[in-house]
Amino acid sequence: MDYPLVSVVTITRNRGNLLKRCISSVLNQTYKNIEHIVVDGASEDNTDEIVAGFNDPRLRYIKLDSNWPIVDTINHGVSVSKGKYITFLDSDDDYLPAKIEKQVNLIERLPDDYGFVYCWMSYYDMSKGNEFIRLHNPQLRGFVGDEVISRPIVSGTPTLMFRRDFFMQFGGWKSSDEIGIGSDWEMCARACQLCKVDYVPESLVNVYINHGSVRQSESASYYQDVYNRTIKFHSYFLNTYSEKFKKRPDLKYYHYWMMCVAGVSAKHWMKAVVYFFKSFASNPRMMTKTILERIKL
């Protein structure tokens, strides 16, 4: 078989202590025809030294003169990439060794109307000695445009592998200015309206939380005014896919529930109550299940 070039795009800022693991996991892939593009949002730590420690022509390091918005940083990495396929890896996470090989083997066998493939990912808590937390294992394939607007089912940036031409066609990430919170869920939901998807039924990505490093988004004040951003984000879904929600009003449940949670967090009690009842009205069964789960907690 041919071995098409795969581009891995990583954005980072002040994560030198984590970046070495990330880069190593890419360069040590069983699939060798790769380029790893690391876009650095003007780090002030030892990131430069960490990258310099790798002697591999497949690694390309781009240091920006300032900390750009998240979407702009990602898009810059994509714009300089050359791969037939595009993947992503957050600088605090890592790939399992066969991640790229298994996804290339899958997507190369699929018709062109499959725009991307994904895999599963495992979450670990670094504050507890890398204790396993949960497995994110969606199992949707084919055309799943209706299912993915209800919840972040097909999501997880490092699990995705896009056909380059398709990624450019549908536009990739939308900025947080446009939708409230820049999101791989929104991106995948939009992509799934235009293509079919498939997946490798294995966890091929490790995601680490509570590692003590500041999120790049937080350093850019990304989550300021989280209540209004959350309302804007879920309203975007409800408006964009209004025709689908008319046919399946039960799919609105999660959006109203998250708006309720945001209202409680911001102590906007009356708004939270309104969203609570809208969530319950759209899907009483799921809302009852959610309430019971909360009570158990």
pLDDT digits (tens, 9 = 90+) for 169-204: 999 999 888 999 878 999 999 999 999 999 999 999
Helix axes 284-296, 253-265, angle to 10 degrees: 40
Helix (H, G, I), strand (E, B) or coil at 243: helix
Q: What is the mean pLDDT of residues 78-96?
A: 97
Q: What is the mean pLDDT of residues 120-125?
A: 97
Q: What is the mean pLDDT of residues 102-118?
A: 98
Rounded to whole angstroms, how far apart are CA atoms 222 and 201?
33
- How confident is the model at residue 297, as a pLDDT? 54
Q: How confident is the model at residue 220 (pLDDT cuts 50, 70, 90)?
A: very low
Q: Does 61 have pLDDT greater than 90?
A: yes
Q: What residue spans define the domains of the chain?
A: 6-218, 225-296
Residue type for position 107 = I
Q: Does 106 have pLDDT greater than 70?
A: yes
Mark 170-193 as b/e (b = at least 16 C-beta within 10 Å): bebbbebeebbbbbbbbbbbbbbb
**In this structure, what token pair is assigned to residue 251?**
């799919």
This prediction's pTM: 0.91
Q: Please name the fold of domain 6-218.
A: Spore Coat Polysaccharide Biosynthesis Protein SpsA; Chain A (3.90.550)
Distance, C-alpha 92 to centroid of its chain: 13
24: left (phi over 0), alpha (psi -120 to 50) or beta: alpha
Q: Which pairing describes strands 131-136 and 114-125: parallel, antiparallel, or unpaired?
A: antiparallel
Rounded to whole angstroms, how far apart are CA atoms 68 and 51?
20
Q: What is the mean pLDDT of residues 6-20?
A: 95
- How confident is the model at residue 216, as a pLDDT? 54
Q: What is the mean pLDDT of residues 276-286?
A: 94
Average per-residue pLDDT for the chain = 93
Q: What is the mean pLDDT of residues 156-173?
A: 95
Encode pLDDT of 225-242 as tens digits.
889 999 999 999 999 999
Q: Where are the alpha helices (DSSP H) in 59-201?
A: 70-80, 99-109, 164-170, 176-179, 184-191
φ, ψ for residue 146, nearest 5 deg: -75, -45
Rounded to whole angstroms, how far apart are CA atoms 38 and 59?
8
212: left (phi over 0), alpha (psi -120 to 50) or beta: left
Q: How confident is the model at residue 218 (pLDDT cuts 50, 70, 90)?
A: very low
Q: Does 221 have pLDDT greater than 70?
A: no
Encode pLDDT of 33-58 as tens digits.
999 999 999 999 999 999 999 999 99
Q: What is the mean pLDDT of residues 2-15?
A: 95
Q: What is the mean pLDDT of residues 153-181?
A: 94
Of 18-22, 44-48, 120-124, 222-226, give the lowest mean pLDDT range.
222-226
